[in-house]
A and B are shown apart, each in its own frame.
Chain A
Amino acid sequence: MSALKLVPESVENPPVTNGPKTRSARPVIQARHVDKIYANGTVALQDATLDVRQGEFISLLGPSGCGKSTLLRIMAGLGDVSAGCVKWWEQDYDVVGSKGRKLAFVFQNATLMPWARVRANVRLPLDLQKAAGEHAERRIDTALEMVGLSQFGGAYPRELSGGMQMRASIARALVTEPDLMLMDEPFGALDEMTRNKLNDDILRLWQANGWTIVFVTHSVYEAVYLSSRVVVMGARPGRIVEEIDIDEPFPRGPDFRVSQRFADYCRQVSESLEKASSMGQEAAS
């Protein structure tokens, strides 16, 4: 594999243009009636069913504590489910890591190794997969450049700000060119400007490389701007409330952000969110 493709021209897999068309694409993840009950009795997920198809950009949106991170971790094959089942590329988890199926996970906090410099941290997945070939250095450079940390390869994580640490962690996920990228609120700690820039970067990469992304966010705007499908979740117990297709062609640009359609989608998603949280309150009281 070559270094990351930065320009959409070199597209091998045709880009997804909108949500419904991907319904016929190959499933990447199939979660069926998944329950997750933690050892302390917390019901973090109840009867969650979700299909993630090849080339989709899915956002998980919901109030704090509704099980977004939990669902994402399950999709990453981290931790068992209490009930239900999950398939990866229509197979068991073993398929991940072998046969060139690559997963990358961006954790909610940066999760860098404090004793290693930024460059070594970004390099880690390549080292672990023994993929540190000739392209490794270039890939690392590209990944660092993309998140704007070219100057900081030699720094230790604690010398970076919270947002910079998060960006280093994103670079670490990008460097493997994953087939499926799971991102847990990656831009939560960033300022509006950097966030918008990274939103566009990630969209461009997603299109150019034919990735599949599941993305957790608190921001309705971000969800609508990025996704081909928004999955709204509710709390207590954590569950999937509604799936909303964002029927807008890619590439999306600043024009979309100020369009009427964008506003309509945002309203629709917000209403769904409100409904979800009021339902949660009824259940709690």
Chain B
Amino acid sequence: MNAPLIRNERFVQIAAPISVGLLFLLIWEIAVRATGVAPYVLPGPLTIFSALQENWLDLLNALLTTLKVTFLAFAIAVLLGVACSLLFIQSKWIEMSLFPYAILMQVTPIVAIAPLIIIWIDDTTWSLTVCAVIMAIFPVISNTTLGLRSVDPNLLNMFRMYRAGRWQQLVRLRIPGALPYFFGGLRISSGLALIGAVVAEFVAGTGGAKAGLAYMILQSSYSLQIPKMFAALMLITVTGVLLFTLMVWLSNLALRNWHESAMKTEN
């Protein structure tokens, strides 16, 4: 009876992870009740859910603040990252001189430089955004550069033979060919933008009207409102998953006609 649904790949793709999640929550709830752990140590899913309901206005505001920083940072990271990649492919020299600094930015722990940035930039939103950009930009740069360089050499030969200019080469050959790599970068980078936004806020510890989800977590842990803390944490995770899904969807939309990653292989 269930056979047709089970064979439907889309259905399975959504249903399978949800079932695992529900099962996990169920076991969690049962375990919490069975062992009688205090809710300020480990609340059960139902307690967390009611905390979410009670504080939903606070949490929603915090979520919006975090989302604002995340999206702002993500957009800047994408624009700036692509611009860097386009610069890098202009010459090996530029890439060789600048790429190490892109790596430097990637390997420096954001928590270590966040305090500096927060001191330098007064505006909270912008200081958090800068931190998140630093976190998110590297995958865009490295993937897009790789993509722009990975051109079929024969196609490139053909473009040269027809005396195509650099601009034509870029627009007609390099950019379309780099799209799959670029979208791969976006998947990683979107999650990093969120992490960057949250981590920077932890360091900044900004409260008040501009409080984001990180501040919610800090504040609830001080006041031992552990269920609320978990609710905020859950919102962060769900946001991350949704962001990733959005990127996958975008990538499939852009590549569905020609790239293996976005197509079903039929044999």
Give per-residue flags for B236-267: 1 if the beta carbon is below 8 A from chain A beta carbons, else 0. Answer: 00000000000000000000011100010000
Smallest CB–CB gap between A117 and chain B, Å? 9
Closest to B165 in A: A128
Inter-chain contact B154/A76, CB cutoff 8 Å: no
A114: which of B157, B163, B164, B259 is its contact (CB, 8 Å)? B259
Is A111 a contact of B161 with CB atoms below 8 Å?
no
Let me know if B162 is at the binding interface, CB within 8 A. yes
Interface band, chain B: 20 to 34
C-alpha spacing A103/B161, complex, angstroms: 7
Question: B163–A78 contact, CB under 8 A?
Answer: no
Stretch of B19-27, B30-38, B72-80, B168-176 on the interface side: B168-176
CB distance from B251 to the nearest CB of A (A): 14
Q: Are A128 and B164 in contact (CB under 8 A)?
A: yes
Of chain B, the residue at the smallest CB distance from A108 is B154
Q: Which residues of A contact B163 (CB under 8 A)?
A: 97-98, 128-129
Chain A: which residue is nearest B163 at the CB level?
A: A97
A83 within 8 A of B: no
Contact with A along B65-77 (1 / 0, CB 8 A): 0000000000000
Q: Point out the residues of chain B lying under 8 angstroms from A211, CB to CB.
A: none
Whether the Cβ atoms of A107 and B154 lie closer than 8 Å is yes
A30 in the interface (beta carbon within 8 A): no
* Residue ID in chain A nearest B265 by CB atoms: A158
Task: Indicate if A109 sits at the interface (CB-CB under 8 A).
Answer: yes
Asked if A111 and B257 sit within 8 Å, CB to CB, the answer is no
Please determine whether B157 and A156 come into contact, CB atoms closer than 8 angstroms: no
B258 adjacent to A109 (CB under 8 Å): no
Which partner residue on chain A sits nearest B168 by CB separation? A128
Give per-residue flags for B143-177: 1 if the beta carbon is below 8 A from chain A beta carbons, else 0.
00000000010110111111110001000110011
CB distance A78 to B257 under 8 Å? no
What CA separation (Å) do A228 and B160 show in the bound complex? 30
Residues of A within 8 A of B263 (CB): 158
Does the CB pair A96–B154 fall under 8 Å? no
With A and B bound together, what is the CA distance between A98 and B263 in angstroms? 42
> Residue of A at shortest CB range from B176?
A115
Q: Which of A78, A97, A107, A113 contacts B173 (CB 8 A)?
A: A113
> In the assembled complex, how far is the CB of residue A40 from the closest CB belonging to chain B, in whole angstroms?
16
A8 to chain B, nearest CB (A): 28
- Answer yes or no: A27 CB below 8 A from chain B CBs: no
Partner of B152, one of A78, A96, A111, A176: A111
Which are the 10 A-B pairs with shortest beta-carbon distances?
A: A97-B163, A128-B162, A111-B154, A114-B258, A128-B164, A115-B176, A115-B258, A78-B157, A107-B154, A125-B162
Q: Which residues of B contact A (CB under 8 A)?
A: 152, 154-155, 157-164, 168, 172-173, 176-177, 179, 257-259, 263
**Residues of chain A at the chain B interface (Cβ within 8 Å):** 73, 76-78, 96-98, 103, 105, 107, 109, 111, 113-116, 124-125, 127-129, 156-158, 176
Given contacts A111-B158, A115-B179, A128-B172, list 10 more A-B pairs with CB under 8 A.
Answer: A98-B163, A105-B161, A107-B154, A109-B154, A111-B152, A111-B155, A128-B168, A156-B257, A157-B258, A176-B162
Q: Can you list 11 residue pairs at the A/B interface with Cβ under 8 Å?
A: A97-B162, A97-B163, A107-B157, A107-B158, A109-B154, A113-B172, A115-B179, A116-B176, A127-B172, A128-B163, A128-B168
